[in-house]
Amino acid sequence: MRLIGLTGSIGSGKSTVAQRLRALGVTVLDADEYAREGALVLKSEICQAFPEACAGGEVNRAALGRLVFSDPAARRRLEALLHPYVRRRMQEETEKARQAGHRLVVQDIPLLFEAGREADFAGVLVVAAPTALRKARVMARSGLSEAEFEARDRSQLPQEEKVRRATWVIWNDADLDTLHKRVEAWYREVAG
């Protein structure tokens, strides 16, 4: 089984690429999905560490996001809680795919390079797009302000560094049909 890492900066279109890979029959495991799951499983620990982001024992994801993307120390505390859970879940699901005979598994991990995970994969696919386009996408879909986008973007490794460290890069700087064709070409190359 070939294990590939998928990453990209905020607003790059990584989720769209993951969705297209799923449509092509690829097993794609989403770290953000497991982080949301982990936030529920670990909510008491999160509320203990971040009481200002909780009300009635429930995590307010928007408040937690504002906090951790404006305070690097808070982000590291949250990552210390969530990353072990996410990594364990990804390993469990990867093993299930291996046992089921899947030839290719993609782990979609937004902070793949930041977490030092590139050596865990046969290769890393980076989805990249011009910063102005990424900002416009994020502001349109999520309602984040320009300052909030910039804080989140600065909290990640610069896109140029991700591209430099990538095994493969898919540029998402055109229309959806073009992106799909680029994903399909990458898939044909990798799946052989």
Tokens for 66?
Answer: 């504002």
**Was 14 annotated as part of a binding site?**
yes
Confidence (pLDDT) at 50? 95
**Was 135 annotated as part of a binding site?**
no
**Was 15 annotated as part of a binding site?**
yes
Q: For the chain, how far is it from start to end, CA to CA, in angstroms?
A: 13
Tokens for 33?
Answer: 């999905």
pLDDT band at residue 190 under the 50/70/90 scheme: very high
Query: Quick one: DSSP state of residue 25?
Result: T
- The 3-state DSSP class for residue 23 equals helix
- Structural domain that includes position 21: 2-191
58-59/54-55 β-pairing: antiparallel
Q: What is the per-residue pLDDT across 102-111, written as a single tens digit (0 to 9) for each?
A: 999 999 999 9
Tell me what the mean pLDDT of segment 130-159 comes to: 93
Query: Phi, psi at residue 171, to the nearest 5°?
Result: -85, 130
Tokens for 15?
Answer: 């989720």
Confidence (pLDDT) at 45? 95
CATH number at residue 156: 3.40.50.300
Please name which of 78, 58, 60 lies closest in space to residue 68, comparing C-alpha atoms: 78
Rounded CA-CA distance 134/15 in Å is 13
* pTM passes above 0.75: yes
Q: Note the helical H segments in 43-120.
A: 43-49, 61-70, 72-99
**Was 16 annotated as part of a binding site?**
yes
The number of distinct structural domains making up the chain is 1
Rounded CA-CA distance 68/174 in Å is 32
Tokens for 147?
Answer: 């300052």
- The 3-state DSSP class for residue 117 equals coil
pLDDT band at residue 155 under the 50/70/90 scheme: confident
pLDDT above 70 covers a percentage of the chain that reads: 100
Q: What is the per-residue pLDDT across 19-62, written as a single tens digit (0 to 9) for each?
A: 999 999 999 999 999 999 999 999 999 999 999 999 988 999 88
pLDDT band at residue 157 under the 50/70/90 scheme: very high
